[in-house]
Chains A and B, each alone.
Chain A
Amino acid sequence: MKFDKPAGPNPIDQLKVIGKPTDRIDGRYKTTGRAPYAYERHDVVGNQAYGYVIGAAIAKGRIASMDLAKAKAAPGVLAIVTAENAGKLGKGNFNTAKLLGGPQIDHYHQAVALVVAETFEQARAAAQLVRIDYAEGKGAFDLAAARDGATKPEPKFGGPADTAVGDFTGAFAAAPVKLEETYTTPDQSHAMMEPHASIAAWKGDQLSLWTSNQMIAWSAGDVAKTLGIPKEKVVLTSPFIGGGFGGKLFVRADAVLAALGARAARRPVKVTLTRPLMMNNTTHRPATIQRVRIGSGVDGKITAIAHESWSGDLPGGGPETAVGQTRLLYAGANRMTAMRLAVLDLPEGNAMRAPGEAPGLMALEIAIDEMAEKLNLDPVEFRIRNDTQVDPEDPKRPFSQRQLVQCLQQGAERFGWSKRNATPGQAREGQWLIGMGVAAAFRNNLLTKSAARVRLDRKGFVTVETDMTDIGTGTYTIIAQTAAEMMGVPLEQVKVKLGDSRFPVSCGSGGQWGANNATSGVYAACVKLRESVAQKLGFNTENLQFADGQVTAGNRSVPLAQAAVDGELTAEDAIEFGDLDKKYQQSTFGGHFVEVGVDIATAEIRVRRMLAVCAAGRILNPKSARSQVIGAMTMGVGAALMEELAIDKKRGFFVNHDLAGYEVPVHADIPHQEVIFLPEADPISSPMKAKGVGELGICGVGAAVANAIYNATGIRVRDYPITLDKLIDKMPEVA
């Protein structure tokens, strides 16, 4: 189905199932331990051996020698895979560094060997007996030091490296009120609950991989490319995923090494990455240095806005696209953005929840707060004054929907924003200095082809098959809701099968594009199935009702199941998008409001309450959408207050590589969260009229927290995370 003009009325608009707060249809499997996660799939193939990954002990250099003799002789050892004996390996399209290093080492904890043994404990013990001597090389590990040598990156995801409209320099120089500040965000880890894990089994030249992966087609392709085998020879299965946040968009060492280990040991092999390996072996969100300049008239209208960002990556990697939102969020005739990329020899950077916007808004939305203060304007009012309904770089392109102003206004009202004292450091309750902060949320709506197959059986059950994934987001449920709405059956009569490379290729889970695109693909397939049903049942009108298990036209009503009485009906289709995203700018919007307390003595920062108001198209399942947003808000608090991969700049690695050292919020950190979705349906986005919310929820949270801390204390911190050590010297004297 080609989607190239705005959606008209369609069966989804009935909203009998779609739009209703719905429990996860897979919830019972998760709470009863019956959802099969990759590492526990003992049942899929017998005789599984265990692989243990050895990570490089240096950040850069070469393996001088490797002695496997002792390890090979250890109890239970079946095989040891190294770059030397693995045969020729390619590199996946989505990988920057090789997944099996050696002799050259590109980053710390790059996999250099897999020890395969009868038991996990034997594999781990034998791994300790592998002796590796390294010739350590010199690397660059400090973004600030490498900044001057940064270059203009090739455009990949996230737009061109440089943009410019009007005369920024002239307008900024002439502006009566201006701000120029630099902000930094640290490297961050996805730190998802389930570590990367895979089981591999070969049958002749056919490889089966049970794994944990967000993008089935990308990854089946990259496994094939890495191993040098045809893509058709790879079956990749990932029905349940214990969190990804972008960390599982790509094939990682667990999958490739499981396949190589299984080949070497001639039996199925399972591999998981240990927690200490995850931070340095896999990808992370790269650190940024961001310079923001804003010029405004005394009327509070922005006349000049510039956002530049520096980040680093391994050679061949990409930048953190932290300037993207600044091209679209606020009006202003004169504007520029720029991204520069330095070569760093830290582990490879890549996408993490709202890549670009998450760190970009952490900087921009502090700058907006600072600018509002310079103008003596309320920060909500300053944002409203600079709203735009068109793409500021190309005013011919309107936003398909844009309710930023409504989000901010409703949020201010619901949060009690009027009670905020604009003068910082004034509100106190006992030992706590209290402050409120606001930030805009913004994340683009990305459109991409997505296919599905639907089947109708003689009992009237509908089965959906697509290689779409559910990374904890609730995909199973919204896909079931879509099919139920389209086919007029109760939710209980829909079965959803996901995450299998033998199914039609979907958009996959990433970039908050999953919900809108994947359900649109299911919509397309259901439209086809409805046509088959109509034909089978001898209806020759387009005015068919599919409801309550019946197909009805005029006075004639036939049970849906009857269409499959001679055998299952199957339909397959994909949603494919035309150029509506060129003609219209499609984005999602929100307002984040945060109240914090800062301990007057210790400068400990604790969030007291949070509110997000989101406008993000039709909300398919308000219950799971809310869960997505509160989860993202929690992650935003982590980014604001504690998350940082600490770099050892001599040895070139992330030091705090476990969940004791890399702190994320715990329950006690998150007392009260509220989410409001504004009514919205965006016919330009898709037939579902939906967008995404999973990333919108994190965008802006960090800055809202930072602005609240400023309001509480009068101390402006521009380097994340905002930990107490950055406040303590400036806190007021206490007795």
Chain B
Amino acid sequence: MKAFTYERARTPAEAAAAARVEGAKFIAGGTNLLDLMKLQIEAPAHLIDINGLGLDTIEETEEGGLRVGALVRNTDLAADQRVRRDYGVLSRALLAGASGQLRNKATTAGNLLQRTRCPYFYDTNQPCNKREPGSGCSALGGFSRQHAVVGGSDACIATHPSDMAVAMRALDVTVETVRPDGKTRSIPIADFHKLPGDTPHIETALERGELITAVILPKPVGGKQIYRKVRDRASYAFALVSVAAIVQPDGTGRVAVGGVAHKPWRIEAAEADLPKGAKSVAAALFADARPTEQNQFKLTLAERSIGAVLAEAKG
């Protein structure tokens, strides 16, 4: 860990302004950032503690949705009665992630900003374009069982580890931010996470110093809401594949898939095939898949998992 300076911000605008400094980072729950700092994968020169900003409430919006403060803890978000009633897929996704202790600490914004669990990213002896741009990708041709099967590039095949974000992609949430100049903006979740391309170290649409203040859940869309996480052990493991689905009584709906790409994977056009069944949906979702020998099973697994979820929604 490198020595760093530390301050506690009092308002979102103040936090964003403070983040103009080269090498500054926000810290909230710290469940991912601190680990990465100990390994010196992240080496911020300055930490801005945003835990004192408030931003920890869930309020109803004029549009009939919910405004989830950036600092609402995962445990609290999952347990909120309105979330459980109207956004079941989100509550289930949150509870499928991490452990009770981590969910107590982890925040809504921090969860979106989790970094990949690619083991090569975590080992500073190994080339990794995400950690050290231009150094190469060790996972390509290496141990890649957990890695992305779609949307990857020659530079990076890492996956995004979040469960929450997959459900949020299915719900089409919006991410609200404030920038160092005080201006705010709303970023649709679809545009929030980036594919790796040639710049896998750029993971989100956030600009330097831009602070997430809230996540807006749109008006409830109803339907059966299911989150199915498939993993080698029963708990406390990242998804091999996960499926967030919202299925309406007429068989239409939405599907986002986790564990397969650098971002929650959803293609709206594929959803037209939902009434036709999982095979068609998966074919459309993974038409451009480029799996490795070690992770091609994820394509079959994703298709069968979508099938299981659709069957559950019917039954």
Which residues of A line the B interface, CB within 8 A? Answer: 57-58, 121, 124-125, 128, 276, 431, 599, 601-604, 606, 641-642, 646-648, 650-651, 655-658, 660-661, 663, 665-669, 723-725, 728-729, 731, 734-735
Contacts and interface: CB of A to CB of B under 8 A. Distances in A.
A728 B297 contact: yes
Given A606-B234, A642-B232, A663-B237, A601 B305 contact: yes
B122 A658 contact: yes
B142 A724 contact: no
A728 B1 contact: no
The secondary-structure label for the interface of chain B is loop
Interface in B138-162: 138, 141-143, 145
B220 interface: no
Contacts of A725: 145, 297, 301
A125 B1 contact: yes
B276 interface: no
Contacts of A128: 2, 40
B286 interface: no
B308 A734 contact: yes
B143 A602 contact: no
28 contacts: A58-B125, A124-B1, A128-B2, A276-B39, A601-B304, A602-B304, A603-B301, A604-B232, A641-B232, A646-B145, A655-B119, A655-B142, A655-B143, A656-B119, A656-B143, A657-B123, A660-B238, A661-B117, A663-B233, A666-B233, A666-B235, A669-B234, A724-B301, A725-B297, A728-B301, A734-B308, A734-B311, A735-B307
A666 B98 CA distance: 12
B236 interface: yes
Interface string B56-89: 0000000000000000000000000000000000
B1 A121 contact: yes
Interface in B163-205: none
Nearest to B142: A648
Nearest to B300: A728
Nearest to A75: B3
B125 A57 contact: yes
Contacts of A655: 119-120, 123, 142-143
B240 interface: yes
Interface string B96-132: 0000000000000000000001011011011000000
A119 B238 CA distance: 34
Nearest to A656: B119
Contacts of A660: 117, 238
B247 interface: no
A735 B276 CA distance: 11
A729 B145 CA distance: 16
Nearest to A727: B297
B230 interface: yes
Given A650-B141, A655-B120, A728-B297, A602 B308 contact: yes
Contacts of B3: 125
Contacts of A121: 1
Interface of B: 1-3, 38-40, 117, 119-120, 122-123, 125-126, 138, 141-143, 145, 230-238, 240, 277, 297, 300-301, 304-305, 307-308, 311
B308 A431 contact: yes
Nearest to A127: B40
A665 B117 CA distance: 19
Pick the most buried of A431, A655, A669, A735: most chain B CB atoms within 10 A of its CB: A655
Nearest to B310: A735
A528 to B, nearest CB: 51
Pick the most buried of B117, B145, B231, B233: most chain A CB atoms within 10 A of its CB: B233
A641 B234 CA distance: 11
A641 B119 CA distance: 20
Nearest to B161: A660
A227 to B, nearest CB: 28
A656 B236 CA distance: 16
Contacts of A642: 232-233
Contacts of A735: 277, 307, 311
Given A602-B304, A668-B235, A669-B235, 12 more contacts: A121-B1, A124-B38, A276-B122, A648-B143, A650-B141, A655-B143, A658-B119, A660-B117, A666-B234, A666-B235, A667-B235, A728-B300
A724 B233 contact: no
B236 A666 contact: yes
Pick the most buried of B123, B138, B141, B277: most chain A CB atoms within 10 A of its CB: B123
B129 to A, nearest CB: 16
Given A646-B143, A655-B142, A735-B311, A668 B234 contact: yes
Contacts of A431: 308
Contacts of A734: 304, 307-308, 311
Contacts of A641: 232-233
A124 B38 CA distance: 8
A189 to B, nearest CB: 14
B123 A728 contact: no
A719 to B, nearest CB: 13
